[in-house]
Amino acid sequence: MLRPLANSLLAALAALAALAACNPYDPDLGNDPFECGSSEPRCPEGYTCHTYSDTNEVCEREAGSADIDATTSTFQCADDSSIEPNNEAMMAFVTPIPSMPSYQLVGLSVCPTGDRDHYRFDINTNGLNFEATVAGIASRPSLALNVLTLQGGPIASGAPVPGNPQVVRIEVPNRLAIGSYIVQVQSPDNTENNYDLTLRVCTTPLPCPVP
């Protein structure tokens, strides 16, 4: 006569186990960045919303949170295989600058350790100002951003934006002759990093206006 009661107890235990296995309120969301919310709080506890470009805001686990160390191999590199290989100036990915006055690439990476990325742009008329901005991950060292000749000779180097060191910008005002040039992105200490890149040309004073 106790069998129905035993069956009911087993069913209840099974249901509790199923709920525990797929708890929708699990606070550990992992180390991969995800899109910030539109209202406060924009990220869950333990995560901070970082702005990497005009259109890219992501939640990242705060430095010192469990299971994250910027120096370990657990870093997840973005997949930018569609533009690789571009490790050398002669292999640079060709951008549509200046036929498009503003061009952005997102989800890029300097991976594996020691990787360098190169992007070609053209100047087709005298008097163009050029601007490049790279936005890396806040918990990692600032990336190095350079403008080179087509043969790899240095022209100019970028610097971190004050108060926002993961964003590095370079501005070249009206001194590039008609021809082809290279933007180079690399990590100064070989730390793997993910980044977004924005290139712009304009005839107005720098910085170039956002479209």
Q: What is the pLDDT of residue 129?
A: 97
Higher per-residue pLDDT: 137 or 24: 137
pLDDT over 60 at 45, yes or no:
yes
pLDDT at 68: 37
Residues pairing with 109 in the sheet = 194
Q: Determine how β-strand 93-94 pairs with β-strand 116-123.
A: parallel
At 25, is the pLDDT very low, low, confident or very high (cuts 50, 70, 90)? Answer: very low
Q: Flag whether pLDDT at 136 surpasses 60.
A: yes
Question: How confident is the model at residue 24, as a pLDDT?
Answer: 37
68 or 193: which carries more pLDDT confidence?
Answer: 193
Residue 49, pLDDT > 60, answer yes
Mean pLDDT to the nearest integer, 10-37: 52
Tell me the Cα Rg of the chain. Answer: 23
Which segments of 45-153 are extended strands (E)?
Answer: 47-51, 57-61, 93-94, 102-110, 116-123, 129-136, 144-149
What the chain holds in terms of domains, given with CATH numbers, is 89-202 (2.60.120.380)
Buried b / exposed e along 159-195 (16+ C-beta atoms within 10 A)? eeeeeeebbbbbbbeeebeeeebbbbbbbeeebbbbb
Q: Which residue has the higher pLDDT, 56 or 136?
A: 136
**pLDDT, tens digit, for every residue of 56-91?**
777 776 544 444 344 445 889 999 999 999 999 999
Distance CA 146, CA 206 (A): 17
